[in-house]
């Protein structure tokens, strides 16, 4: 199979395998009036697509929250590892959304920042849960990972000795 570029100075990049996939490059391309961080009530729509986007944003940032909370707790030994993780998730999400405002095929919205930060928070809370941490440590064979450090998920006895 021959790979290479034999294009001239034209505005078309030809696909050698399938001519239907040729790329046509416009002289100029820019987005008119692209909103920067559109407000949640302006971008909300009652549809499955919108709900799917919200769930994907939350689920996509759960691992970030989980693993950075683990890092901040076990490696960096921060006192407020959950708060540091949530702030990190919000800053990363904000950076992504601001950069998306300059991409012609992407939208920039506050809903994504809120849902990404919610996913980060959920991931950090999952890490703080002793059951999840123990399961994760068992699967990976870690022992230090499962050590409790201020657990928020286990039931603690009350002052009268009951759970």
Report pLDDT digits (tens) over 65-75. 999 998 998 88
Name the average pLDDT for the chain. 81
pLDDT for res 110: 93
> What's the per-residue H, E or C state across 119-137?
HHHHHHHHHHCHHHHHHHH
Which band of pLDDT confidence, cut at 50, 70 and 90, is reported for residue 86?
very high
- Name the pTM for this structure: 0.67
CA 33 – CA 40 distance, rounded (Å): 18
Which band of pLDDT confidence, cut at 50, 70 and 90, is reported for residue 1?
very low
Greater pLDDT, 37 or 140: 37
CA 34 – CA 109 distance, rounded (Å): 11
Q: What is the mean pLDDT of residues 39-67?
A: 91
CA 36 – CA 52 distance, rounded (Å): 22
Tokens at 155, concatenated: 């039931």
Q: What is the mean pLDDT of residues 73-96?
A: 93
Q: What is the mean pLDDT of residues 75-89?
A: 93
By 3-state DSSP, what share of the chain in percent is helix, strand and coil, each rounded to 5?
Answer: 55, 5, 40
Greater pLDDT, 10 or 40: 40
């Amino acid at each position: 199979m021959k790979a290479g570029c034999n294009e001239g100075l034209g505005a078309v990049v030809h696909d050698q395998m399938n001519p239907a996939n040729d790329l046509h490059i416009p002289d100029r391309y820019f987005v008119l009036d692209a909103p920067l961080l559109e407000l949640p009530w302006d971008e909300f729509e009652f549809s499955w697509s919108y709900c799917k986007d919200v769930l994907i944003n939350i689920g996509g940032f759960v691992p970030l929250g989980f693993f950075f909370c683990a890092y901040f707790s076990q490696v960096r030994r921060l006192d407020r590892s959950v708060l540091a993780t949530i702030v990190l998730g919000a800053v990363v999400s904000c950076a992504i959304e601001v950069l998306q405002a300059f991409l012609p095929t992407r939208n920039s919205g506050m809903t994504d920042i809120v849902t990404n930060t919610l996913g980060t928070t959920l991931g950090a809370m999952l890490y703080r849960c002793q059951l999840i941490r123990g399961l994760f440590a068992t699967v990976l064979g870690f022992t230090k990972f499962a050590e409790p450090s201020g657990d928020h998920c286990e039931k603690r006895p009350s002052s009268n000795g009951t759970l």
